[in-house]
Amino acid sequence: MRRFENKVAFITGGNSGIGKAAAILIAREGAKVMIVDIQENLETLEAIRKEGTEAEFFKCDVSDAEQMKAAVEAAVSTFGSLDVALNNAGIVDASPIHEKTIEEWNRVLNINLGGIFYGMKYQIVQMRKQSTGGAIVNMGSIMSQVAEQGIGAYASSKHGLVGLTKVAALENATHNIRVNAIGPGYIETPLLMDNSASGTEYRSYMESKHAMKRLGRPEEIATAFLFLASDDASFCTGAYLPVDGGYLIQ
């Protein structure tokens, strides 16, 4: 039997990069999937349906609490429950603190940290109603542990995400709800490549930061998500799992 047969998965940022890979892989494992994204792109939806699995798309700005509430409610009304959530949507900033605008700071924090809070707030309410509980995975970063210049808002949001994950895990440990976080290294996704200089020189620089001397693939993060969301990780909650090609050990 597939690991997520008859389960319902809710994935933000599900139309590109890690979110897209996670949605497709969990569908292959039997889950019905609600894809949540601000981008109206039906590629993920179509790919999942080709796997013979049910899926729907819900357009949502994760920084808007009411939209997140509506997205969770849509998943439950469509599929009947909410068993797995991946809070994955995020953006990055690119300016030093003394030059960063208030608008840039607020936008990054509202999406990257506010979106996690709003997602968990309504996901937990639903999961507490269910005798089966659920599993929540929040997408952090290696920048949940370290820092680089120019990404003050991003690093702050990702550090904060780990604390929020731990608190949620403590509050829900006796309600059969597990909450964990993943810390990807640099992954070859649109978020990374669209916010970076182009060319082989930049790519080589990014690869050199990892002990394995390469970028990660979205599927490599998605498989870690499947582990944390599955019964294979039944005694795991409040954890931060680096999947970073050895970035943090150097």
240-243 and 84-87 beta bridge pairing: unpaired
DSSP 113: I
The amino acid sitting at 95 is S
CA 60 to CA 230: how far, in whole Å?
26
Q: Catalogue the active-site residues.
A: 154
Residues 6 or more apart whose Cβ sits within 8 Å of residue 81: 7, 8, 126, 130, 132
Residues 6 or more apart whose Cβ sits within 8 Å of residue 205: none
From the list 27, 35, 33, the residue with the least C-alpha distance to 52 is 27
From the list 172, 159, 181, 176, the residue with the least C-alpha distance to 227 is 181
Are the beta carbons of 134 and 168 closer than 8 angstroms?
A: no
Are the beta carbons of 81 and 8 closer than 8 angstroms?
A: yes
